[in-house]
């Protein structure tokens, strides 16, 4: 569906803040399934937490938001450029059910809930295997910056 090279063309994020490694499923205007391979090399593990590394919940949410951005760009048939940026503008109902640790593969499932007034609302679930790690409703919008 989308390898890292295609993702780099769609998202402005770069290491260490690019949190989507590949897209494995994409249904235009409906849903996306993406993968974040969580490795011990991630810079946040040095301080969160020494001796028991856990991926910060806000970064799991950011990974979900990045996957949502990929889905929205595909739905709009647009590629981001220097004049437009896709902002994460809200979150509701975030719940963390399981820690995400080095060696885990975080599966990012996003579905479009609705689009109104330029605000996209998504339902997101992050899983490790069959276990839910995080779920939330995310809101994003495109803004001109140039």
The 3-class secondary structure across the chain, one letter per residue, is CECHHHHHHHCCCCCCCCCCCEEEEEECCCEEEEEEECCCCCHHHHCCCCCCCCCCHHHHHHHHHHHHHHHHHHHHCCCCCCCEEEEEEEEEEEEECCCCCCCCEEEEEEEEEEEECCEEEEEEEEEECCEEEEEEEEEEEEEECC
Indicate if 5 belongs to the active site. no
Q: Is the peptide bond before 16 cis (omega within 30 degrees of 0)?
A: yes
Catalytic residue among 31, 48, 98, 121: 48
- Catalytic positions are 48
């Amino acid at each position: 569906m989308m390898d890292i090279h295609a993702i780099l063309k769609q998202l402005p994020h770069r290491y260490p803040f690019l949190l989507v490694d590949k897209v494995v499923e994409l249904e235009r205007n409906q849903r996306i399934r993406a993968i974040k391979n969580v490795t011990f090399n991630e810079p946040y593990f040095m301080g969160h937490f020494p001796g028991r590394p856990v991926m910060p919940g806000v970064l799991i949410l950011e990974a979900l938001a990045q996957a949502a951005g990929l889905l929205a760009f595909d739905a709009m048939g647009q590629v981001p450029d220097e004049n437009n940026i896709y902002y994460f503008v809200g979150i509701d109902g975030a719940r963390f059910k399981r820690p995400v640790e080095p060696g885990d593969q975080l599966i990012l499932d996003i579905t479009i809930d609705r689009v109104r007034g330029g605000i996209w609302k998504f339902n997101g679930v992050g899983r490790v295997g069959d276990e839910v790690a995080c779920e939330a409703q995310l809101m994003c919008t495109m803004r001109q910056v140039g």
